[in-house]
Chains A and B, each alone.
Chain A
């Protein structure tokens, strides 16, 4: 789907490049001008590509710095976004969660934990973790880059069960490390301990 979206953009950019090539021939530009034009066109093409497609894979750190075993792999085709909430690779759960949503802006004055430009996605991680209908749904709020500053949080989870009150479940920082690979023993997920889910799977 992403390739299809990018194709027209790339064609536009190619057209622009071709037009300016002809233009250069007609006006017999000097070499420095050609180089500068080429550089600008290259930047334009890069700009086109970056604006319409963005992918990121980020892990989750708790407020206390603990690394959770799950992580996100998200592809943004602005304004829409979709991705995988990876529960299998490090957490060892049977299946991954699916995320789908869009770019959003949460005002600084909203009183929310994560503010500014974010990607907000519905996430069926509860169902995936238990391989069952749980009646609970996650609203996943994430930034698109690793956290750099303390107390500037990068992700937050809100959930609702049976459509009633929505609750804050957890929040923290984003990191480029995917999953708690270095940890030994029980691994925690960002949405709660995985122990209960594993116990259910073993029964």
Chain B
């Protein structure tokens, strides 16, 4: 195509003046160069016409007959849904195989969960109903439309998912007499099955002081919850703005510089 168009140009140029020829060459080359670049890169900051709709808060879904689902029974309710007010020290996470070592303080008040950042620079608040997260550090707040990983597995049971609970036995763990229960959370939408084993401390109203993520054919992840305190939490721990629009990332003044390697970020 390039050769053909160039040959057409050379034939046509026989009949035009030299100056016009020069201009024509420049225009053609400029257009070609721009076209090739635009083919490879989308225009910066352009908002496509078909934007993905913002994730909406989960709603109670009726079945195909229009009936509202019956409330979950003790056998089908997700155990973690009943602990809406507590604080604890979480050791380990789903991303660490075996006994995890990472520690983080977690708090829950209703649908809001607060988790300390893994490197101690701030904290995250995830709304378990909308699954949105707000991050707080020395700078402006950051928003993301995903739950923070530290709230796992509290956000595991989504609307529409099913929960199977099977009692396995009893064990005394860290001085707590505990019921052991196998929990499977299944999502009909994705066909996924999250299998966990809970050690539910009887003196903590069944709060799981240990959760093991069961991975067929692989090593499990283990989260332990220590210093569990059940009851209402200080509401000021969960205050977050409705949005983080004031953050420079959302179009504010571009007067800040990113931190150099190994240095803490500072506002310039």
Contact = CB atoms under 8 A, between A and B. Distances in A.
Interface of A: 12-13, 15-16, 19-20, 22-23, 26-27, 33, 36-37, 40-41, 43-44, 47-48, 50-52, 59, 61-67, 78, 103, 105, 107-113, 115-117, 126, 130, 132-136, 146-154, 156, 158-159, 161-171, 173, 175, 177, 180, 182-183, 188, 191-193, 195-197, 199-200
A133 B118 CA distance: 24
Contact of A147 (B156, B193, B218, B258): B258
25 contacts: A12-B2, A20-B6, A23-B6, A27-B13, A43-B29, A51-B37, A51-B39, A65-B259, A107-B52, A110-B54, A111-B143, A112-B144, A113-B143, A116-B45, A134-B218, A136-B95, A149-B254, A150-B248, A151-B247, A151-B256, A152-B248, A165-B147, A165-B152, A167-B146, A167-B152
Contacts of B22: 33, 36
B248 A64 contact: no
A74 B112 CA distance: 38
Nearest to B218: A133
Contacts, number: 255
B191 to A, nearest CB: 7
Nearest to A23: B10
B2 A27 contact: no
Nearest to A13: B2
Contacts of B40: 51-52, 78
A85 B44 CA distance: 26
A64 B149 contact: no
Given A161-B94, A167-B149, A196-B96, A148 B218 contact: no
B183 interface: no
Contact of B156 (A20, A26, A149, A165): A165
Given A136-B95, A193-B101, A151 B261 contact: no
Nearest to A182: B262
B267 interface: yes
Give the interface centre of A20, A105, A146, A188 by most chain B CB atoms within 10 Å: A105
Interface string B25-48: 110011011001101111011111
Interface stretch (B64-72, B134-142, B197-205): B134-142
Contact of A110 (B2, B21, B145, B248): B145
A57 B268 CA distance: 27
A109 to B, nearest CB: 7
A19 B268 contact: no
B208 to A, nearest CB: 18
A173 B265 CA distance: 10
A152 B121 CA distance: 18
Contacts of A193: 96, 101-102, 118
Question: Binding site of A, secondary structure by majority: helix, strand, loop or mixed?
Answer: mixed
Contacts of A115: 249
Contacts of A161: 94-95, 152, 194, 213
Interface residues of B, number: 99
B256 A47 contact: no
B96 A117 contact: no
Contacts of A107: 47-48, 51-52
Contacts of A48: 36
Contacts of B101: 193, 195-196, 199
B93 A149 contact: no
A197 B48 CA distance: 41
B98 A41 contact: no
Given A167-B146, A173-B259, A63 B121 contact: yes
B3 A16 contact: yes
A106 to B, nearest CB: 9
A200 B102 CA distance: 15
**Of A63, A78, A113, A166, which is in contact with the most chain B CB atoms at under 10 Å from its CB?**
A63
Q: Which residue, of B40, B131, B139, B215, has the highest number of chain A Cβ atoms within 10 A? A: B40
Given A40-B26, A149-B258, A197-B97, A47 B146 contact: no
Contacts of B109: none
Contacts of B121: 62-64
Nearest to B121: A64
Nearest to B132: A111
